[in-house]
Structure 1
Amino acid sequence: MDRQVSNISSGEFKKKHHPKAYTVFICICMSFGSASMGMAASVISTTLGQPSFVKKMGLDGPHGQSIEGAMNSLFYTGGVAGAICHSYVADKFGRKASIAMGSLIVLISQALLCGSVNAAMFIVFRFFSGWGSFQNICGVPLWISEIVPPRNRGMLADIHAIFINIGYTTIGFVGVGFYYYQSKNSWRGPLGITIFPPFVLLCIINWLPESPRHLISKHRHEEAWAIIHRLHSDPSDSTDEFAKREYYQICKQIHFDRTLKTGYWEILKRPSYRKRALISMALAFCIMSDGLITIQNYGVSLYTGLGYTGVDSLLFQAGYTACSLLTSIIAMTYVDRIKRNWLMACGFAGCTVALTIYTALVKNFLGTTNTAGQSAAVAMLFIFVSSFELGLDGPEFFYQAEIWPSHLRAQGMTIFMIVYNAVNICWLQAAPTAFANIGWHYYILFIIFAFMGVVAVLLWFPDTLHKPLEEIAAMFGDDDLVVIYQKDLDNAQIPLKTIEEIIPGMAAAKNVGTESEKDGLHGKVTEAESISV
C-alpha cells in the first residue's frame, strides 16, 4: 500500500502557510458590511452637531434630551433584534445570507433616515438601522474567522475592525464638510452617504465564497473542498497538504458536532458552554461599560462642553475617528503575536488610565478659561480610543468566534451582541441626563468597569492564539468533544491517501478503495479515525 506521508514537522507546517492575496481581497470585500455598520452607528454623532438637524427635530425644545437619548439607544435596541436574527439565519441559510440580509436592512433604513420628516420617523428607522448593522457585525467576523487559516486569523479578522473605523472616519469628515453647506437639509447629506457600503456589498456578495464550515455542516462537501483548496493551498507544495489536512480535521469535527444538540438550553446545561457564555457576556459588558460608545456618540457634545464650539467640535470628532482608524491598522501588525488575554488586558488597562486622567482634567478645568487643561482632556480621549483599538477592537469580535464550537458559534456571537447592545442602551439613554446632572462623576463608573475588564481577562480568559477552531474546546475541558488534533495528524504521519479518501473526487480519481472507504465521513473507521483524544 502506498503510504505517502509528510516530511514537514508540525511547527514548520504552520509557519509555512501565509494568507493568499485572494483571501485578503475577499475579507476586504466582505468588510464593506462592517463599514456600513461604522457609518450607520457614527452618523448620529455628527448629525446631532448639525444646527439644521437640531432645529428640524426639535432638540432645542423642552424634550430635547429625551429625544436625543432615544435616537441613540433605539439603534442598539435594534441591534438586539439583529443579533437574534443572525443566529437563526446564519445557521439555517448560511453566513453570507445573514450578512446580505443585514446589508439590505441597513440600505433601506438609512435611505429612510435620510428622508425623515420628523423625530418619530427618525427614531423608528434608527431601530431598523441598528438591526441590520448588528446583524452585519455578527456575521462578518464570524465569516472571516471560519475561512482564514489559524496562524493569521487575528490579523485578517482585524480587517473587520478597520472597516468599521473607515466608516466612522468617513462620516466624521463628511459631517465637517456638510457643516459648511448652508441649507435646512444639510444634515441629510451624511445620512445619504451611509447607503454606499451596503449597496456595494449587495452587488458583490454573490461572488464571495460561503464559509466552508457551514457548507460541510449542510453536506455540501464538494463546494467546501473547492473553497478550502483555493484559499489554503500552498503554491510551493504540489500535494496541497495543508489544505487537505485542514479539510480532513474540519470534516471530522463537524461530522461529530452534528451529533450534538444545539440551542441556548444546551448552553445552560453544560458547564463548559456556560463558561463560554459568561466570558462572552463579561467581555461585552466590560467593553461597552468603559465609556467607548458614550464618548463616540456624544463626542461633539463633550468637545462643546470643553469650550470647542461649532466646526471645531466636528473637527475633533473627525480627528478622534481618524485616530481610531490609524491605530486599528497598527494593531494588525502584532495581533497574532501576543497572547489574546494579555492583548485585551493591555487594552483595558490603557483605557482605564486614559479615562482616569480625563476625568480628573474635566473635574478641574471644565467651565474654566484654562485652555491647556481642556486641550489635555481632549488628548486623553484620543489616547483612550487608541488604547481601545490597539488592544480590544479586533479581539472583541474574533475572540467570540474562536471560543465557541462550530455548532454553537452563531448562538455564542448572539449572546455577546445581546449583552453588548443591552449595556449600550442603558448608558446611552442615561447619558444626556447624567451629563446634565452629575457631570464628570458619570465617568467614574466607566473607570471602574474598565479596570474590572483587566482583572476578568487575566483571570478567566484562555489564550486562543494560533489554535485551530476545532481544537479550542479542549481549553474549556471538553477534550471529549475534540475529534482530532492537527499535531496528531502530523505526528502520527497519517498517509495522505487516507486523508484524500474523504476529499470529493480525489479518491475516485485515484481509484482507491471501495465506496464505503471513499466516504470518510460515513464509512468504516479508518486508521485516521482511530486517533482519539
Structure 2
Amino acid sequence: METATNYNFLIVLIVTFGSLTYGYNSAIIGAVIGLPSFFQYFNIDIKSGDVLGHVGADTTLTFLSATNGLFAGGGFIGCYLITWLADKVGRKRSIQITSCLCIVAGALQAGSVHIAMFLVARFLMGMGVGMVNVITPLYQSEVSPAHSRGRMVGSHGFVLCVGYGLAGWTGYGCYFLESQVAQWRLCLALQVVPPLGLLIGSWWVPESPRHLVATDQQEAGFAILKRLHHQPDDEDDTVAREELYQIRLQLDLEKRQGWRQGWLKGWISLFTRKSYRKRLLFGFLLLGLVQSTGCLVIDNYQVLLYNGLSLYGAMPLMLYALWDTWAAIMNLVNALLLDKIGRIPIMVVGQIGCSVSVAGFTACLARYGGTENRVGNGFGVFFLYLFVTFFGGSMDASSYVYSSEIFPTSIRAQGAGFSVSGLFAFSLIYTMCAPVAFNNIGWKYYLIFIIVPLFGATIMYLFYPETKGLALEEIAAKFGDEVAVNITDLSAEERARLGKSLVNTDIIELEMKQAAPTITIRKNNPWETKSEISGLIPLPERDVSLFAHASGPPRLQGEPVVILFTGAGGPAATYVKVQEHLSSFARTLFYDRAGYDRSTLPSNVESLMAHDAAHDLDALLGKIDVPPPYILIGHSYGGVPLREFLHLQLAKHRPSNPLAVVGGIVLYDTGTEAEYAFWPRLPSADLVAVCKDVDWEGLTHLREESGMTDDEWASAMEASRRMATKLATKREDTHASARSLAERRQLEHHAYRGDNVAVIRCNSARDYRIGYEEGVRLGGGTEDERRGAKKFIEDWSLYTYGMVKVQVDLVGQHGNALYQELMDWGHDSPFRKPELVGDAVEWVLNELRKQKESH
C-alpha cells in the first residue's frame, strides 16, 4: 500500500491557502453583519429594519439578500469558469489566476465607500471563491495517493472551517476596536491574506501530473509523480511508475471512447452518456444536500439567530467564533476517518444527525425565542453546536473528497465544477430566501433543513457507491464504466511481480494481472505511443516517400501492431472507418503504397510490383522504429503484397517461432495467385464494357452505408483522385506480382506453418451480377460482350471458392486457421461494416493470448 510522502503532504497543505480563502472570505460576512458600525456606515438600522433618513423597513432584508445572493451567484459562475480555465492553462496557473481575483475583490470590499461598490466587490469575491472551491480539492485529489486521498483532500474541508473560525474570531476581536470604520474594514481587508499566501505558495507547487499526461507531457508528469511518491526504500520509483501506467492507459481508453475532444464537446458528451449523467447528478445533489442541512444559513445568520434567542452585544460574536472553531476540529476528525470508515457511511450518519439537531434548535426557537428563559435559550445554543458536530464531522470534508474523485481526468474539471455549482445554487436559494422567511414564517423555515437531509441520507445509502481506497482511474468501475488497469485488486504477489517488471526510465514494462500483456512505453517513439500520428516518411534508399497513419492505444509488449494492405486502387483514406474501429482495441498502422494518395512514385522502376511494396514497407517500419510482431490484414489485391511482406519478414528474421515476427494474418476476400493466373483481367474486359455507364456508388448506396462523415468522404475521394493521376504514369502490375508470388510456392510449403490465419470469403459474384444487370438496363455492351460478361460471372462463382479457401494452406493441415464465408456481404463490406474485419482481428488476438498462456 502506497503512503504519502512529506513532500506530498506539504504540497497539499500549501494549496489549502485556497481552502482558507473560501472559508474566511465566505464566512466573514456573518461577522461583519454582527458589527453595528458596518450598518451605521451605510445608514442601515439593523434592529428596527429602517434606513435612517431614507426609505422603509424592507431595505435591510433587501441588502442582506443581495449580499448573500450576489456572492452565491458569483460563486455559481466561478464554478463553470474554472472548468474551462483548469483545462486550458492547467491546474497550477488556474490557482494563481484565481488568487489574483480574490485579492482584488477583497481589496475592493475593504475600500468600499458606497453600498453598490460593496455589492459588486462581493459578487467578484463570489466568483473567486467559487473558482477556488473547485480547483483546490480537484488539484489535491490529482496529487494524492489512493489510500491517503480522504485525509489529504479532506484537509480542504478542515482548513476551510479554520477560515470560518478565523472569520468569527476576527469579527469578535474587531468588535472591541475603538475606530468604528476600522471594525468592519479590517475584517474585510484581511480577506486578501489567504489568497496572497496561495499566490506566493503556488510558485513552489508543481503542475498536476494527470493534467500533464493528459496534454501529452508524459516525461514532466512522470518527474512530478516520482517526486510526490518517492520513498527511501523505493529506489526504482515503483509507485510513480504504476501510477503513470494507470493514468496513461485510462486516458487513452477515454480518448478511444470519445473524450478529450475539447471543453465544449466535453460538456456535450457529459450529458449524452448515462454513466456520466449519473456522476453529474450525484455530485450536484451531494453539494446541494450539504447546503440543505442549513449550514450556510445558520453560519451567515448565526448572530441574528442568537439575537432571536435574546443574546446581544459581544456574546453572539464569541459564540459564533467558538462554533466555527469547533466546526474546524470536527472537519479534521472527518478527514482522518474517511480513509478508514469510508465516504458514504459517514455522510449518511451525518445527515441524520444534522436533521435531528436542527429539529431540536427549531423547537427551542419556536418555544423560547424572544423570551428570557435562559434554560430554553441555552438548549437552543446547544443544538446549534450539536448540529456543527454532526455537520463538520461528516459532510464538509466528505463532500469535497467525493465530488472531486468520481470523475475521470478528461472531464474532472467540468464534473467537479458542476458539482460544486450545486453548493452555490442551493446556497443562492436558501440564503436569499432566509431574511424574508425569518421575517414572515420565522422558525418554520427550518423545517426544510429537517426534512431534506433525511431524504438525502436515504438516497445516499441506497444509491451512492463507496470510493474509499480506489485510485482515481479505478472509480469508473463503480459507475459501470470500463477501467483500463485495476492495480488495487492485484494480490500482494501480483503487485510484487508488477514492481519487478519496471526496468528503467526510458522503457517501462508493466505486467498485468491474470497473464495479461505487458505494456511498453517507448517515450522516444510517438509512432508506438501517441493516440494518433501521421506523416510522409522519406525513404531515400528506396527512392520513395510513404505516407503512414498510426493510431490506437500505446503499443503493448508481446502484442503486434495491426497493418493493413489495401486493395488495388484503394488508398488508406478510404479505409478510415476500418482503422477507427480497429484502433478502439489495437495499435494500428495504415499506410499508402508507392504512388497511392500522398506517397510518392519511385523514379527507377517501370511498374509497381508487390515484392517492391514489401521492401518499401519494411524500410518504413525500420525508419519509424516499429519492430515486429505484426498482424497483417489484406483486402482484395492487398493479399498479394501482404504475402510478399510475410515472405520477406520470415526470411529476414528467420524466427524459431513465427509468432515473434507475424502474430497473425487476416485475408479478407483477397485475390490469389490462382485467380490472377486464371483470368487475364479482373474484372473481365467484357464486364467492364457492359458496366461502363453504371454509377456504382449510387447503385450500391456505398456513400450512405459507409458511415463516413462528409469530410471523411471528401478526403477519401480526393485521395482516390490524387492516386489516379499518379498511377496514370506507372501502373501497379497486379498480374505480374501474382506470378512472382506463385513462384514462392507459399501454399505448397505451408510458409506460415502452425500459426494464425483467418480467411474470409465474401459474395463478390453478387456485386458483379448487380453491376451487370444495371449495365444491361442502361444498354451497355454488345451482345458478345454481355455473353462474355455473363460467362465471367458464372466462372467466378464456380471457381473462386477453392481459389480463396486454399489460402488456409499457409498454415498447413494442422495449423490454426479460421475460414468464414460471408455470403450476405459483398467485396466492399469492410467499408460498410468495419466490425467484420474487427471480428477477424479479435480472433487472431484471442488466439495469440491463448498461445502465450499455454507457454
**TM-score, scaled relative to structure 1:** 0.91
Distance 2:462 2:303 in 1: 37
Matched residue, 2:664: none
Matched residue, 1:40: 25
Matched residue, 2:382: 379
- Give the superposition deviation at 1:216: 0.3
Matched residue, 1:189: 186
Matched residue, 1:395: 398
Aligned ranges 1:48-63 → 2 under 5 Å: 48-60=33-45, 61=51, 62=56, 63=59
Which has the bigger relative contact order, CA under 8 A and spacing at least 6? 1
Matched residue, 1:484: 485
Matched residue, 2:581: none
Query: Does residue 30 in structure 1 map to residue 15 in structure 2?
Result: yes
Contact 1:272–1:477 (CA<8 Å) still a contact in 2? yes
Gaps of 5+ in 1: 1-13
Matched residue, 1:225: 222
Query: Does residue 201 in structure 1 map to residue 202 in structure 2?
Result: no
Contact 2:283–2:418 (CA<8 Å) still a contact in 1? yes
User: Which residue among 110, 126, 133 is the counterpart of 1:114?
Assistant: 110
One-letter code aligned to 1:334:
L
Matched residue, 2:135: 139
Contact 2:82–2:94 (CA<8 Å) still a contact in 1? yes
Matched residue, 1:525: 556
Matched residue, 1:10: none
User: Which residue among 335, 338, 341 is the counterpart of 1:335?
Assistant: 338
> Aligned pair count?
511
Contact 1:251–1:521 (CA<8 Å) still a contact in 2? no
In 2 relative to 1, CA 240–495 (structure 1 residues): closer, same or farther, beyond 3 Å? Answer: same
In 2 relative to 1, CA 487–391 (structure 1 residues): closer, same or farther, beyond 3 Å? Answer: closer
Contact 1:287–1:453 (CA<8 Å) still a contact in 2? no
Matched residue, 1:412: 415
Distance 1:241 1:411 in 2: 31
Contact 1:140–1:160 (CA<8 Å) still a contact in 2? yes
- Alignment deviations for residues 378-436 of structure 1 (CA, whole Å, 9 cap, x no partner): 11111111111111111111101211111111111111122211111111111111111
- Give the superposition deviation at 1:238: 2.7
**TM-score, scaled relative to structure 2:** 0.58
In 2 relative to 1, CA 488–453 (structure 1 residues): closer, same or farther, beyond 3 Å? Answer: closer
- Alignment deviations for residues 465-498 of structure 1 (CA, whole Å, 9 cap, x no partner): 001111111111112xx11111576638766576
Distance 1:53 1:430 in 2: 22
One-letter code aligned to 2:204:
W
- Alignment deviations for residues 107-160 of structure 1 (CA, whole Å, 9 cap, x no partner): 000001000011111111100001011100100100000001000000111111
User: Which residue among 436, 440, 465 is the counterpart of 2:443?
Assistant: 440
Query: Does residue 288 in structure 1 map to residue 291 in structure 2?
Result: yes
- Give the superposition deviation at 1:227: 0.9
One-letter code aligned to 1:247:
L
Aligned ranges 1:58-457 → 2 under 5 Å: 58-60=43-45, 61=51, 62=56, 63-185=59-181, 186-259=183-256, 260-261=258-259, 262-457=265-460
In 2 relative to 1, CA 513–90 (structure 1 residues): closer, same or farther, beyond 3 Å? Answer: closer
- Give the superposition deviation at 1:204: 2.0
Distance 1:142 1:256 in 2: 21
Distance 2:523 2:362 in 1: 72
Distance 1:513 1:181 in 2: 66
In 2 relative to 1, CA 514–152 (structure 1 residues): closer, same or farther, beyond 3 Å? Answer: closer
Distance 2:9 2:445 in 1: 41
- Give the superposition deviation at 1:518: 10
One-letter code aligned to 2:25:
A
Contact 2:151–2:335 (CA<8 Å) still a contact in 1? yes
Distance 2:365 2:83 in 1: 42
One-letter code aligned to 2:422:
V
Larger helix share, 1 or 2: 1
In 2 relative to 1, CA 353–380 (structure 1 residues): closer, same or farther, beyond 3 Å? Answer: same
Contact 2:334–2:398 (CA<8 Å) still a contact in 1? no
- Measured on the aligned residues, the alpha-carbon RMSD in Å equals 2.4
In 2 relative to 1, CA 283–506 (structure 1 residues): closer, same or farther, beyond 3 Å? Answer: closer
Q: Secondary structure at the match of 1:194?
A: helix
One-letter code aligned to 1:486:
I
- Give the superposition deviation at 1:184: 2.9
Contact 2:502–2:508 (CA<8 Å) still a contact in 1? no
Looking at CA atoms only, which structure, 1 or 2, has the larger radius of gyration? Answer: 2
Matched residue, 1:4: none
Q: Greater shift after overlay, 226-235 or 123-132?
A: 226-235
User: Which residue among 463, 470, 473 is the counterpart of 1:460?
Assistant: 463
Distance 1:489 1:517 in 2: 30
Contact 1:77–1:425 (CA<8 Å) still a contact in 2? yes
In 2 relative to 1, CA 493–363 (structure 1 residues): closer, same or farther, beyond 3 Å? Answer: same
In 2 relative to 1, CA 271–322 (structure 1 residues): closer, same or farther, beyond 3 Å? Answer: same
In 2 relative to 1, CA 493–172 (structure 1 residues): closer, same or farther, beyond 3 Å? Answer: closer
Larger strand share, 1 or 2: 2
Distance 2:358 2:148 in 1: 32
- Give the superposition deviation at 1:234: 2.6
Q: Secondary structure at the match of 1:308?
A: coil
In 2 relative to 1, CA 339–497 (structure 1 residues): closer, same or farther, beyond 3 Å? Answer: closer
- Alignment deviations for residues 327-381 of structure 1 (CA, whole Å, 9 cap, x no partner): 1122232121112211110111110111111111111111222101101111111
- Give the superposition deviation at 1:35: 0.4
Contact 2:20–2:163 (CA<8 Å) still a contact in 1? yes
Distance 1:335 1:493 in 2: 27
One-letter code aligned to 1:59:
I
Gaps of 5+ in 2: 46-50, 260-264, 510-519, 532-553, 560-584, 587-844, 847-855
Q: Secondary structure at the match of 2:555?
A: coil
Contact 2:42–2:115 (CA<8 Å) still a contact in 1? yes
One-letter code aligned to 2:38:
F
Distance 1:506 1:405 in 2: 23
Contact 2:471–2:488 (CA<8 Å) still a contact in 1? no
- Give the superposition deviation at 1:256: 2.5
Contact 2:339–2:469 (CA<8 Å) still a contact in 1? yes
Matched residue, 2:812: none
- Give the superposition deviation at 1:527: 4.7
Q: Greater shift after overlay, 229-238 or 108-117?
A: 229-238
One-letter code aligned to 1:218:
T
Distance 2:313 2:396 in 1: 30
Matched residue, 2:721: none
Distance 1:446 1:358 in 2: 11
Q: Greater shift after overlay, 249-258 or 470-479?
A: 249-258
- Give the superposition deviation at 1:442: 0.3
Distance 2:523 2:123 in 1: 57
Q: Greater shift after overlay, 255-264 or 330-339?
A: 255-264
Distance 1:194 1:492 in 2: 48
